Structure 1
Amino acid sequence: MVSTADTTLHVVDPKNPGAVDEIAYYIPNMNFQDIEARRQKVLARILELAQEVNGKQGS
């Protein structure tokens, strides 16, 4: 005997019915050195903009 009361309700229909829904594992293919370099570049720009904003507010 199978009880359907033990399973959770499906709140969202699958995007591709009949296809396998799974999370792809991309970490082995990622270049963490490039990601870190880009993160540092973005952070530096954010700090530059913050200094510009703070300088204008103090004027």
Structure 2
Amino acid sequence: MLIHEGLNIYYISKRLGHSSIDVTLKDYGHLLKETYEQDNKKALKLIENLWLNMWPKLSL
């Protein structure tokens, strides 16, 4: 659930009391694949907005 809400894997690892992120990834890494498409869409939208906001400043 924490991964699906977009929380940082380091935070999740510490919150669950795991000795390292590797332990968390071993147990829950498969869930990261499930959120990849959602994260990819968010990232592309952020990049698009950044580009659209910077483009007028770059034009002469």
TM-score normalised by the shorter chain: which range applies?
Answer: 0.3 to 0.5
| Structure in which a larger fraction of residues adopt helix | 2
- Of structures 1 and 2, the one scoring higher in RCO (CA 8 A, sep 6+) is 2
Rg larger for: 1
- The normalised TM-score by structure 1 is 0.43
